[in-house]
Chains A and B, each alone.
Chain A
Amino acid sequence: MAASNSLTIDCAGRPTRAINDEIRRAADEGVPVVELLNPQARHNLGVSVLKPIHVVYRGHVGSYAAGLCDGITAEIHGTAGWGVADNLMNGEVVVYGNAATSAAPSIRGGRVVVRGDAGPRSGMILKKGELIVGGNAGYMSGFMMQNGRMVVCGDADTGLGDSMYQGVIFLGGKARELGSGLHEVDAENGELDEVGALLDRFEIKAPKSFRKLRSDQKLWHFNKHDFAAWKDVL
């Protein structure tokens, strides 16, 4: 039996567990799109969906929307709470509003796009994949990033990219303070064009220019002569 083209779930009054079970079942059956009405800032909507499906959230969502998913695409037409797309393995999650604290924590692949502002600790311990923030990013964004790419079109608060191991941050605005071990390098040929094309795709206004930031790797191993950097991070 061919899967229907879409499924609509009205979240109002339904338990989270039942909503998520229905999304997963739809994904198992090959339904391409599921639309969630009245998410009402509920937590944990669309968690652990491991087969491809496109999830459309029609409203604000609470914590961990699309958390621990693999291979899904999602669009959130509202504001996202803490930890949106937590630990995403692969896929793409687009937040059309702002995202609260810890957007895209520890993602291991895929792409998370926040068209508005993102709160503190965005992209913390990012492992692979990409976080794009159309507006500003809060303090300690990119903290302990292990790899991947973060693009911040606006300003960043204190501690940007503090103690990063690997990966890159493209910053369009100003940083109140760069985190320990972060330094500016030249962008490689074509890199900025690629970022620009991505921003066009998500209809995010690109800043005039980007600074490319990455770890100077001085924190990879302790060296007493670099104590100025280490005193904050030991």
Chain B
Amino acid sequence: MSETPDSTPPAHAGDSSVEVLDEALPAPNGAYPRPHGFSGVWPPEVIEEIQEKASLGRYQIRGQATKRAGLPSFDDLVFVPAGLSRMPLEGYREKCDTRVVIGEGNCERPLVLERPIMIAGMSFGALSVYAKRALGMAASRCGISTCTGEGGMHHEERRYSDKLVMQYLPSRYGMNPYDLKKADMIEIGCGQGAKPGTGGVLLGLKMSDEVAEMRDLPEGVDQRSPCRHPDWMGADDLYMKLEEIREVTGYQVPISIKVGAARIANDVRIAAKAGVDAIVFDGMEGGTAASPTIQLDHAGIPTIAAVAEAAESLAEMGRKDTMKIIVGGGIRNGADAAKCIALGADVVYLGTAPIIAMGCHKPIYLEDYARLGTSPYECQHCHTGLCPVGITTQLPKLMERLDVDEAADAVTNYLNALTMEIQLFARACGKNRVSDLDPNDLRALTHDVAMMTGVDMVGLGGRTPWWKKF
């Protein structure tokens, strides 16, 4: 799928010197036309979108995440820290445990995370091998995991990641029993928040010889991955598939299952019944290297709604203590992460944020952003393979722009800051373990978020107004 329109407009297009106009309209007198305002139904971006589709003959594709504004978000929640009714912990001194263990009691080598954070699945192919290496270095320093994503396990990623999760996806690109045995957790991928219900997309410019060889695909092809597994369909099959994977790994490592947040309550029930060690999901704010734009904006549910729904479902299944909830999709800072944990997540899953930390959107190589028709802070051109800062590309000249050591340092710093922010809220709420944060530590700023999370509204909460009592 080339992003370049494959037809050229007729030669007369844009020619305004048509005689009939000269006759019908007065000559321009230099006066500035009175502004009429943009249509609310047909604003410039909608007109532009329609005209781009008219040229391309297909849906638009782009990277990063939905551009929708106004989705319910973690900003609609606030913490209610300690006061007189409970005591806070010393913010800079007292210990606040951040460790999370996945698969404890269910496998020989549970995955121990020193912080409630994991780097989300991003493939070699979507990212350059240097970006993968930098993520591995940073994650290892922080005692957390990285994830292979769709393209198979790259030896560089295994080398630099102390804890590596291998995704087992419908496409089975690069899948083999040897790499499964090398993984520290297996994540059975069934969807992602950016495009739930569809498979992956990797456009031809990113299908380098090495990426193609790992995926058993022709070099330069526009890859469209299957959206469902080739050999299992429903809940009962999943149970058998889990047993097969556990046989391969010798029951050594935990297994999680990942979905895009949509029908999350039922998905959690099925995953819990099948016996996975964790469910992973990202909300509709989740990132991607390439997705149909319309899918990004109109499919799936927001992360904040999904967390509450999933936590309730898991508690109903009686597996709250034996199965972890790992949540991604638009987590930007320690406040988002801590609120997510308070609502019921055990771990937050970060993809876009670490990529931004290493330089995505950085205002350098401005001329190359311009050649892509974009600029820093609004780029979202990961799908083209022409990443100006050298992260989401397979072109050697662009890849060299990413300094691996600097990128690893930047991601480490960001993860450290994020961890401190999470602990800040936990300590302020009087908790010496981050995992002890709960919905009572939160209040909702909007009725919508109070409804979807069950968190009390600020001020009134669930109480009767005082003037009705006296």
Contacts and interface: CB of A to CB of B under 8 A. Distances in A.
B240 A44 contact: yes
B362 interface: no
A146 B1 CA distance: 18
Interface size class of B (residues with CB under 8 A): 35 or more
A44 B247 CA distance: 8
A47 B247 contact: yes
A47 B56 contact: no
B57 A17 contact: no
Interface in A108-138: 108, 121, 124-125, 127-128
Contacts of B178: 50, 70
Interface stretch (B225-233, B277-285, B404-412): B225-233
A227 B6 CA distance: 13
Contact of B172 (A62, A106, A220, A223): A106
Given A87-B176, A221-B222, A16 B247 contact: yes
A9 to B, nearest CB: 15
Contacts of A220: 218, 221-222
Given A48-B247, A83-B231, A224-B58, A146 B217 contact: yes
Contact of A89 (B57, B171, B176): B176
Interface string A193-212: 00000000000000000000
Contacts of A50: 177-178
A165 B221 contact: yes
Given A48-B177, A144-B226, A146-B217, A224 B56 contact: yes
B247 A127 contact: no
B217 A70 contact: no
B247 A89 contact: no
Contact of B216 (A20, A127, A143, A163): A127
A102 B216 CA distance: 19
B232 A83 contact: yes
Interface string B1-44: 11000110000000000000000000000000000000000000
B365 interface: no
Given A50-B177, A105-B230, A223-B6, A68 B248 contact: yes
B243 A147 contact: no
A79 interface: no
Contacts of A89: 176-177
Contacts of A39: none
A64 interface: yes
Interface in B244-260: 244, 247-248, 251
Nearest to A123: B230
B58 A121 contact: no
Interface string B176-197: 1110100000000000000000
A121 B241 CA distance: 17
B243 A43 contact: yes
B229 to A, nearest CB: 8
Contact of B57 (A106, A146, A224): A224
A234 B227 CA distance: 12
A221 B231 contact: no
A125 to B, nearest CB: 5
B454 interface: no
B39 to A, nearest CB: 28
Given A220-B218, A224-B58, A44 B6 contact: no
Interface string B155-180: 00000000000000001100111101
Contacts of A73: none
B232 A68 contact: no
A190 to B, nearest CB: 25
B226 A221 contact: no
B291 to A, nearest CB: 13
A126 B350 CA distance: 33
Contact of B217 (A43, A44, A121, A165): A165
B247 A17 contact: yes
Contact of B251 (A17, A44, A101, A147): A17
A20 B59 contact: no
Most buried by A among B178, B218, B230: B230
B334 interface: no
A123 to B, nearest CB: 9
Contacts of B172: 87, 105-106, 125, 127
Contacts of B56: 224
A101 B231 contact: yes
A234 B59 contact: yes
Given A105-B230, A227-B57, 18 more contacts: A47-B248, A48-B248, A63-B240, A63-B244, A67-B247, A68-B244, A69-B177, A106-B172, A127-B216, A128-B216, A144-B226, A146-B216, A165-B218, A165-B221, A221-B222, A222-B57, A224-B56, A230-B58
Interface of A: 16-17, 20, 43-44, 47-48, 50, 62-64, 67-70, 82-83, 86-87, 89, 101-102, 105-106, 108, 121, 124-125, 127-128, 143-144, 146-147, 163, 165-166, 220-225, 227, 230, 233-234
Lowest 8 A-B CB distances belong to which pairs? A224-B57, A83-B231, A124-B230, A222-B1, A105-B230, A106-B172, A102-B231, A127-B216
